[in-house]
Amino acid sequence: MRLIARYPTLSEAQERAAFLRSRGIATHVSGLTSLRPNLAHRGRDRAALWAVLAEQAEDAGQLLEDPGRPAPSALDEPAMERLETDGAALARRSLLRALIVTLVILVVLLVLVISVADAAEQVSGRVFHDLDGDGRYQQGELGVAGVLVSNGLDVTVTDADGRYELPARSDMDITVVQPAGWRVPVDDRQLPQFAFTWKAGGTPETLRFGGLPDPGPLPERIDFPLLPAPDADHFRCAIVGDSQTYSNDEVGYFRSSTIVDLLDEGLDDGDCMIYLGDVVGDDLDLLDRLLGVGSAVGVPQWLGFGNHDMDFDATDPAHSADSWRRLAKPAYYAFEIGQATFVALNNLVYPCGEEDAQRPGREFCLEDRPRYNGRVSQTQMQWLENLLQHIPEDRLIVLLHHVPLVSFSDADRPVHLTDNAADLHALLDGRPALSLAGHTHTLENLEPGEWYAGWEEHVGVGPLPFRHIIAGAASGAWWQGNLDVHGIPMALQRMGAPKGVVMLDFDGIEYRERYRGARLDPRRGQWLSLNTPAFRAWHEQLAAWMARPEDERDSVPPVSVHDLPDVQLVTTDELAEGVYLTANVWLGSRSTRVRARRGQGEWFALERPQKGQGEAAQTGALYADPFSVQRQASDSRRAVVSRSGNSRTQGYETFRGRANQGVPRPQGRSLADRNVHLWKARLPSDLAEGVHVIEVESVDRNGQRLVDQLVLEVKTERPPRFWRVWN
């Protein structure tokens, strides 16, 4: 037999068969199933029409195109009946032989491992304009040419009819790269639908969150619908780092902070939300609710994969993202908007092993307790290289990944860097590019040419070839700390910035970055304070206490925020010893210029201690931000108790149900003592007594201006702090 054509319904195929039989063509109709990437449309019946005699196939095709033409190979009725009778018996015998052969082949394939099948099978389908929006390919819906489709390794381009063909792999995500001017459909959670996941046999070990089920045989075809979108060069994206919700209470905090702010931003159809991993905190059952509240913003939610989104009970890196792939989307993929190509990478290897441990500083990969390491797998690196071959060199490449390629805050901790960062830089050489990461719960706007001690040693990276932004965390410092006026944990991050999101405003291949602090005035972008001798002495005592193991120190801190005198009232003696004006510019970079003036006096510059010229982090009280440290040092919510009888509401929980209870103390495990976005200037030692209004202005590389004021009192002696008692 020879295939003539396929039809979307069995009845349509039978109708064509009846016509051909009336013209003397012996036919056979078989049903088949075509699975689609959208789960809601899987299992739709289709049919194939066959010519029983191979030599009649050409006549059959011509008759279907031109029913009036003659059929030279036509059979008479008796011949048709004999052929059908004999053919049925032949088909049964052929089927039996085919079944026996198939069983033998399957046994051989199992012995030779499934990868043997990869070389023999192909994946094919069509990318099409979904005119009626039902997600199904219908006759009359045109294919979309020039669209990139991948199997997670190979990348191909659709032909003039939107068709593609790729080698099948035993474990793969078939993905379409959303092209500029089009958009993929979204589900009711605003989650883009652009992938079909297939893992032969499913996840081979039992995982808490289910892994991937056995998908059965590969579908006959995998089609991808596209919808038209504005082909605009200008669009906005909200970059959400580490929402990291460990509980439903924390999902509520995320809803009432980040989501409320993004509603105020007024994102439009062509805009997007991008999560940079650690979307949830080790509980993938929270993902559906979190995406549900995120869908209120009304734009597609593109997800990155983080170390708290993985299957921690997986024993092989090949399976540690399987539950994520079932519940969310592939761990790596690409999509386009405007003149930007966004490339989401999975740069987490869990559990890491001997391959990772060969690099100095990764010996932890051989410990008994499974650990992760920051590295992009070789398969992904090859996929990225293949992808870039199809992307014009003048397009902006935006890398999306959880672990930073490099960072200031963890420059000396290789587990929090990406081993093959230098290889990624090399792949992007000469292209406009941007790296976006999360993970560290810090804001870092690292410019081309900037670098710090530890990068070269740990990952072979010197001065940066393009901008790297670590986007902070929507959870701030893991939802810790006192509640703000909205009833949400203040959770200031490691270098003092508030929790929040980075907003990127794209215009062609250019972009403007700004930071929106959660539930704060959107025009605010910096904290002002004064670093005084009293602050430095107080910080040193508290930092020394925090550095000791908990079981070796007094349960009560040596000092609290109440022991710190007012830092905006200083004496002439303190000025002589050294008082510094500080500006913590949350998303400041080397290009940011900060200046100040007293009253209407002359402007003077504030300098950033960290120059980004290969030096190590400058640490200690002199390099800390007094504004944020005071708030981080006073976590009193842990001491709030009741008679409710519920032990879990005494204090509060974070992380995996970790209890934060007892005496008030600083949040977290250490006191902030370094900062890459802090500017400072020493005030004159001869500053006159009285009240001084200090105005501070910062201007970033895009001309965005922030202005705040601070009121300073100078006195000969510090007045009494507390209520005076009269006899």
Residue ranges per domain, the chain?
A: 2-110, 120-515, 526-633+671-715
- When comparing pLDDT for 59 and 109, which is higher? 59
User: Would you state the pLDDT for residue 113?
Assistant: 41
On the question of pLDDT at 562 being above 80, the answer is yes
Matching CATH number, 526-633+671-715, of 3.40.190.10, 3.30.450.20, 2.60.40.10, 3.40.1020.10: 2.60.40.10
What's the pLDDT tens digit per position in 91-142? 445 444 544 444 444 433 443 444 434 444 899 999 999 999 999 999 999 9
As a whole number of Å, the end-to-end CA separation of the chain is 113
* Mean pLDDT in residue range 269-295: 97
The C-alpha atoms of residue 689 and residue 679 are separated, in whole angstroms, by 25
AA identity, residue 551: D
For residues 576 and 374, the answer to whether their CB atoms sit within 8 Å is no
* Mean pLDDT in residue range 265-276: 96
For residues 535 and 572, the answer to whether their CB atoms sit within 8 Å is no
DSSP state of 416: G
User: Would you state the pLDDT for residue 10?
Assistant: 66
Cβ-proximal residues to 168 (8 Å cutoff; 6+ apart), any chain? 117, 118, 121, 122, 123, 151, 198, 218
Place of tokens 């900062």: 675
- The two beta strands, 396-400 and 433-437, are parallel
User: Would you state the pLDDT for residue 95?
Assistant: 43
Q: Which range (79-93, 203-217, 507-521) has the least confidence?
A: 79-93
> How sure is the predictor about 31, in pLDDT bands with cuts at 50, 70 and 90?
low
| 44's tokens | 């739709």
User: Would you state the pLDDT for residue 85?
Assistant: 55
How many CB atoms sit inside 10 A of residue 342's CB? 22
Q: Among residues 707, 277, 703, 715, which one has the least CA distance to residue 474?
A: 277
On the question of pLDDT at 32 being above 50, the answer is no
> How sure is the predictor about 77, in pLDDT bands with cuts at 50, 70 and 90?
confident
Cross-strand partners of 2:
51
The C-alpha atoms of residue 69 and residue 368 are separated, in whole angstroms, by 76
Q: Which range (79-88, 101-110, 416-425) has the least confidence?
A: 101-110
| Cα→Cα distances 300→14, 246, 289, 533, Å | 42, 23, 16, 50
Give just the sign of the alpha carbon dihedral 707, 713, 719, 723.
negative
- The two beta strands, 195-199 and 224-228, are unpaired
Distance of CA 352 to the CA centre of its chain: 21
User: Would you state the pLDDT for residue 671?
Assistant: 85
What's the pLDDT tens digit per position in 241-258? 999 999 999 999 999 999
The C-alpha atoms of residue 6 and residue 137 are separated, in whole angstroms, by 13
| Cα→Cα distances 203→51, 197, 315, 457, 463, Å | 41, 12, 11, 37, 42
Q: How many residues does the chain have?
A: 727
The C-alpha atoms of residue 32 and residue 48 are separated, in whole angstroms, by 7
Give the 3-state secondary structure percentages of the chain, helix then strand then coil, rounded to 5: 25, 25, 50
The C-alpha atoms of residue 195 and residue 202 are separated, in whole angstroms, by 17
User: Would you state the pLDDT for residue 427?
Assistant: 98
Question: What's the whole-model pTM score?
Answer: 0.84
User: Would you state the pLDDT for residue 86?
Assistant: 54
User: Would you state the pLDDT for residue 43?
Assistant: 35
Q: What percent of the chain has pLDDT over 90?
A: 81
On the question of pLDDT at 544 being above 50, the answer is yes
User: Would you state the pLDDT for residue 82?
Assistant: 65
Nearest-10 crossing angle of helices 10-22, 57-65: 100
The C-alpha atoms of residue 36 and residue 39 are separated, in whole angstroms, by 7
**H helices of 115-197, where?**
115-120
On the question of pLDDT at 182 being above 80, the answer is yes
> How sure is the predictor about 397, in pLDDT bands with cuts at 50, 70 and 90?
very high
On the question of pLDDT at 345 being above 80, the answer is yes
* Mean pLDDT in residue range 523-542: 98
On the question of pLDDT at 39 being above 60, the answer is no
| Cα→Cα distances 190→281, 297, 328, Å | 21, 9, 11
On the question of pLDDT at 36 being above 90, the answer is no
For residues 287 and 251, the answer to whether their CB atoms sit within 8 Å is no
SS3 63: helix
User: Would you state the pLDDT for residue 120?
Assistant: 44
For residues 481 and 443, the answer to whether their CB atoms sit within 8 Å is no
User: Would you state the pLDDT for residue 687?
Assistant: 97
User: Would you state the pLDDT for residue 30?
Assistant: 65
What's the pLDDT tens digit per position in 317-327? 999 999 999 99
For residues 48 and 3, the answer to whether their CB atoms sit within 8 Å is yes
The C-alpha atoms of residue 564 and residue 570 are separated, in whole angstroms, by 12
Q: What percent of the chain has pLDDT over 70?
A: 91
> How sure is the predictor about 46, in pLDDT bands with cuts at 50, 70 and 90?
low
SS3 170: coil
On the question of pLDDT at 616 being above 60, the answer is yes
On the question of pLDDT at 9 being above 80, the answer is no
User: Would you state the pLDDT for residue 464?
Assistant: 98
The C-alpha atoms of residue 48 and residue 220 are separated, in whole angstroms, by 11
Cβ-proximal residues to 238 (8 Å cutoff; 6+ apart), any chain? 262, 265, 267, 271, 272, 273, 274, 297, 501, 502, 503
Q: Among residues 176, 180, 182, which one has the least CA distance to residue 226?
A: 182
Mean pLDDT score across all residues of the chain: 91
| Cα→Cα distances 355→352, 378, 527, 625, 627, Å | 8, 12, 44, 40, 44
> How sure is the predictor about 161, in pLDDT bands with cuts at 50, 70 and 90?
very high
Burial per residue of 707-725, b for 16 or more beta-carbon CB atoms within 10 angstroms, e otherwise = ebebebebeeeeeeeeeee
The C-alpha atoms of residue 697 and residue 699 are separated, in whole angstroms, by 7
What's the pLDDT tens digit per position in 426-459? 999 999 999 999 999 999 999 999 999 999 999 9
How many CB atoms sit inside 10 A of residue 207's CB? 19
Q: Which range (45-49, 121-125, 385-389) has the least confidence?
A: 45-49
Provide the CATH topology of domain 120-515: Purple Acid Phosphatase; chain A, domain 2 (3.60.21)
User: Would you state the pLDDT for residue 526?
Assistant: 98
What's the pLDDT tens digit per position in 650-700? 999 999 999 999 999 999 888 889 999 999 999 999 999 999 999 999 999
> How sure is the predictor about 558, in pLDDT bands with cuts at 50, 70 and 90?
very high
